[in-house]
Structure 1
Amino acid sequence: MTRRGNWAVLGAGGISGDFARALPAATHSVLHAVGARDGSRARAFADEHGAPIAGTYDEILARDDVDAVYIGTVHTSHRELALAALAAGKAVLCEKPLGIDVAETEEILAAADAAGLPLVEAFKYRFGPFPDRARELVADGDLGEITEVETAIGFAADRGIRRLFDPALAGGALLDAGCYPVSLAVGVAAWAGRLDAPTVVSAEGVVGETGVDEDAAAVLDLGGIRARVSTSITRTLPRSATIRGTAGELEIPNVWGSRVESTATAILRRADGSREEIATATVSPMAAEADATIAALREGRTEAPEMPWRETLATARLLAEWRSLL
């Protein structure tokens, strides 16, 4: 029996705690170590979550008993930690966005390619039985030729959460939340074989007094597929998505799922008026993305099929174009 992959969590914040709590549900992954800028904070986190090893980032990355790292830190530290982890020979699962701009994203992808190591952008909604089914429906032509995607994500954040409202930390709605609807639109276009020269057709939004985008909407064109996306960190928006085609549409009421359970249901409405309820099993999406990273490592792959590099880069380019228009 192949041993489980030893994970190190880098960053001792809230989302890292969710990842640590998810790992017991994984099949091929186990929490082994915790790294933080402050070694004592890492030790406290490790004790809370049952990891035997703790230390600073450098101490953890220097260990030869760590197979993969999960980066759950603020956006502006993703590049530094991802490059250091890849240089240390570790597979990387990095929270979105992988880089805060296109240049960073390209640099990290190039480093993973040179190292021959897995690098996965952690869009957890991409992992599990339901997204596999959605990919099949689009790719197999059940909806006909895809014409439109409409999706959103938004929440009213506490203004005391500095990382969301500080431009020095790459705050704002687009990088924190808007990356979800953009990445979904990119994914649908890719599944349909239409991810060709994606661009922003139009954009609007509100930039707050701190200088970050707080509420925004855009229309994207992805190989002839029109995507209407919106996001906010000042108001609640639906967590739904609708994928429309010439033969029907797929309505997904909770497309993003949660950090502890993947989404499971959708309604397929066909052009002939028939209606089918789609239902799948649920999984821990964070455990699933961890296992997908370890599977890539074991099989000598640099990418996970759930979130390929081409789609990571297309998402980064669209986000940069959208931000430039606000």
Structure 2
Amino acid sequence: MTHAKWAILGAGAISGDFARALPASELGRLHAVGAREVSRAEEFAAAFGAPVVGTYDEILDRDDIDAVYIGTVHTTHVDLVHQALAAGKAVLCEKPLGVDPDETDAAIAAARRAGLPLVEAFKYRFGPFADRLRELLEGGGLGEIVEVESSLGFAAGSHTGRLFDPATAGGAILDVGCYPLSLVVGVAAWTGRDLEGLAVRAVAGTIGETGVDVSAAASIDLGGASANIRTAIVHDLPRLTRIVGREASLEIPNVWGSRTDSTETATLIRTDGTREEIEVPTVQPMAAEADATIRALREGRTEAPEIPWEQTRTIARLLAQWRGGID
């Protein structure tokens, strides 16, 4: 099978993780790197073995690239998405796709017009554990869902840079809180709830000295169930997620996995007290999301089932409600 040719846009840390992941991909290989400054692209390509370098425009103008991965700061995502789609490339874009619902909707509309895949890169959604979780919830394995609890947070080593900069849409909610919120949206979708009815009902948070949210919590009404999520970039939070149903609950020690390994374990606890340990193989999750993008391209689909556009749009809407409640 001929490997699809990937271009990486952005020469930062997350792009480096994607470049390290691509050799584990079944369907694609790194071909090109684009950056605002060609010198940065050259350094990145030397480190990861990409034969082609250039500015963003130069890379997107090439006809020997099948797909692009966008690993730039949040505020540049949508512009690059539009450019890549207009150039005929499939797109895997780091989360969040847009910094607000309007940006997100416009990007999706552009992908629909182009007839090309656009995938939001929530890496935990790809691989055997994510598939098992969807199957369990879609099949009613927990009974009616009544509660979800999830958190993700860390203590940043420095309170400078894009994470703490309002000009680059920094802050805990968009950078980290999107993970637990996206999981809640997934749970709602996989249990047949109307995503348009989801709403943030209560928020709490702290705005730091640089003007971005540094910690936050939210309660989300799922229609007959509630979800409570937390995030932070100034202190560590548990990575535990609990999904509670009337017949059983699921405890996942680390649903997010890592940038090198997907989640492998969870515990199903039934109301009669019996426990079942769930174990699945791990994969390189960033390679898995890359393959999902290329699979969609080759099958003529614009969406990946792991993170459909309806969920991406709902995540953007709820993120805006959460951020707006703190501002």
Q: TM-score, normalised by structure 2?
A: 0.98
RMSD over aligned Cα atoms: 0.8
- 2:226 counterpart residue number: 226
Note the C-alpha offset of 1:272.
1.6
- Amino acid paired to 1:76: T
Aligned positions of 1:207-226 closer than 5 A: 207-226=207-226
Per-residue deviation, 1:159? 2.9
Which of 216-225 and 308-317 deviates more? 216-225
Residue of structure 2 in register with 1:63 after alignment? 62
Cα distance in 1 for partners of 2:86, 2:296 equals: 18
Alignment partner, residue 178 of structure 2:
179
84-93 or 152-161: bigger deviation: 152-161
Matches within 5 A, 1:291-306: 291-306=291-306
What are the residue-to-residue correspondences of 1:38-187 with 2, within 5 Å? 38-187=37-186
Tell me the secondary structure at the aligned position of residue 295 of structure 2.
Answer: helix
| Greater shift in the superposed pair: 274-283 or 196-205 | 196-205
Q: Give CA deviations for 1:171-192 in whole Å, capped at 9, x if unaligned.
A: 1000000000000000010000
Matches within 5 A, 1:16-27: 16-27=15-26
Which residue matches 1:321? 321
3-state DSSP class of the match of 1:282?
Answer: coil
- Per the alignment, in what secondary structure is the counterpart of residue 68 of structure 2? strand
| Residue 158 (structure 1) shift | 2.5
Per the TM alignment, residue 97 of structure 1 is displaced from its structure 2 partner at its CA by 0.4
Q: Deviations over 1:297-319 (max 9, x none)?
A: 00000000000000011011001
User: Partners in 2 of 1:222 and 1:5 — Cα distance?
Assistant: 39
Partners of 1:229 and 1:80 in 2: CA distance: 30
Alignment-derived partner of residue 245 in structure 1:
245
Query: Shift of the alpha carbon at 1:271?
Result: 1.2
Stretch deviating more after TM superposition (150-159 or 298-307):
150-159
Q: Identify the residue that residue 276 of structure 2 maps to in structure 1.
A: 276
For residue 276 of structure 1, give the secondary structure of its aligned residue in structure 2: strand
Moved more, 288-297 or 160-169: 160-169
Q: Give, in whole Å, the separation in 2 of the partners of 1:162 and 1:102.
A: 25
Percent of pairs with identical residues: 66
SS of residue matched to 2:230: strand
Deviation at 1:224, TM superposition (A): 2.5
Deviation at 1:90, TM superposition (A): 0.4
**Contact 1:173/1:233 (CA < 8 Å) preserved in 2?**
yes
Q: Give the Å deviation of 1:160.
A: 4.2
Q: Distance in 1 between matches of 2:61 and 2:276?
A: 52
Instruction: Determine helix, strand or coil for the equivalent of 1:307.
Output: coil
Distance in 2, Cα, partners of 1:32 & 1:48: 13
Report the CA distance between 1:147 and its aligned residue: 1.2
Unaligned 5+ residue runs, structure 2? none
TM-score by length of 1: 0.98
CA distance in 1 between counterparts of 2:44 and 2:209 reads 35
Q: Which runs of 5+ in 1 are unaligned?
A: none
CA distance in 2 between counterparts of 1:212 and 1:282 reads 35
- Take 2:194 and 2:51, find their aligned partners in 1: how far apart are those partners? 44
Q: Distance in 2 between matches of 1:238 and 1:195?
A: 29
Alpha-carbon separation, structure 2, partners of 1:161 and 1:19: 24
Work out the CA distance in 2 between the residues paired with 1:192 and 1:160. Answer: 39
Corresponding letter in the other structure for 1:319: L
Structure 1 contact 206–214 (Cα < 8 Å) conserved: yes
- The residue identity in structure 2 corresponding to 1:4 is H
Which of structure 1's runs of 4+ aligned residues deviate more than 4 A? none
1:59-92: CA deviation from partner (whole Å, max 9, x where unpaired): 1001111000000000010011111001100000
Structure 1 residue 223, shift from structure 2 partner:
2.8
Asked if 2 retains the 8 angstrom alpha-carbon contact of 1:186 and 1:195, the reply is no
Q: Which amino acid aligns with 1:130?
A: F
Cα distance in 1 for partners of 2:12, 2:154 equals 20
- In 2, Cα distance between equivalents of 1:184 and 1:137: 14
- CA contact under 8 A between 1:194 and 1:224: conserved in structure 2? no
Number of residue pairs aligned between Structure 1 and Structure 2: 325
Which one-letter code corresponds to 1:299 in the other structure? E
Residues 151 and 230, structure 1, Cα contact 8 Å, conserved in 2: yes
2:80 match: secondary structure: helix
- CA shift at 1:222, angstroms? 1.9
Alpha-carbon offset, residue 4 of structure 1: 1.1
Which secondary structure does the structure 2 equivalent of 1:189 belong to? helix
